[in-house]
A = this chain, B = another copy of it.
Amino acid sequence: MTFFEQLSNRINSIDSILCVGLDSDTAKIPIHLQEEDLPQWSFNRRIIDATHQYTAAYKPNLAFYETESGWKSLVETIAYSHGKGIPVILDAKRADIGNTARHYAKLLDMADAITVNPYMGLDSLSPFLSRIDAGIFVLCKTSNSGGSDIQNLTLSTGIPLYEHVAKLANGWNENKNVGLVVGATHPNELQRLRDITPDLPFLVPGIGTQKGDLESAAKNCLSSQGVGLVSSSRNILFAGEEKSFDKSAGESAKRARNSLNVFRN
């Protein structure tokens, strides 16, 4: 079963396209957890317990796990999510020359999907793309304001770079394992990208804290096969405080799932 088939099953079985981003910043997690051996794992376990019934996939961003304790927490978190049957997308935004990319691709031994950066071209992504069982989300049009600095440059062919990247990614989809990262903060561009690459699932961050357009995200993230995800992180993880943080997170995830379904159905 491919990653996107697995994800499709998960989306349909719990009726949710919500992806919860585990940007579990140690400095922001409740103080009573900060004294535990692996604070991020303690936090993530409670977040998963509270949100899993509304969550199609979890997406830890590796930036928050690049310490010795962080790495242990990440391994535990992935195993726990898998124990509940929920796929894990590593938000890594990696790419490197072939020899090195092969090492980064080993991240897919521990998780189910990954985000990658297209700037270094096809051979820097080939070790990921050759993983037919994995999902490879190529950064296309990102949700940050600076996303326009490079991605919106107009090419000599008259189209913006991000459109060209989408078309390239579409051509890299021989194994039916390619998706795109497209921010919710630019609804027109999201719509345009959906039109030109109907078969690619989108991972759409930028709702919640980043105030992206929820309707556009829910409608346009889905491929022709009905597969896609809208991601929210801080609005769910840090919805509440201290002892009740997990209850608040669960409620926030439920609200996000329901809001997305209004526009999806």
Contacts and interface: CB of A to CB of B under 8 A. Distances in A.
B155 A103 contact: no
A85 interface: no
Interface residues of A, number: 57
- For the residues of A in contact with B, the DSSP-based class is helix
Given A118-B150, A119-B150, A142 B97 contact: yes
Given A63-B104, A64-B103, A101-B63, A151 B96 contact: no
Interface stretch (A4-12, A42-50, A161-169, A214-222): A161-169
Interface in A147-192: 147-151, 153-156, 158, 161, 164-165, 168
A257 interface: no
Contacts of A118: 119, 149-150
6 contacts: A68-B71, A71-B71, A118-B119, A118-B150, A122-B149, A123-B144
Interface of A: 23, 25, 61, 63-64, 66-68, 71-72, 75, 93-101, 103-104, 106-107, 117-126, 139, 142-151, 153-156, 158, 161, 164-165, 168, 205, 210, 234
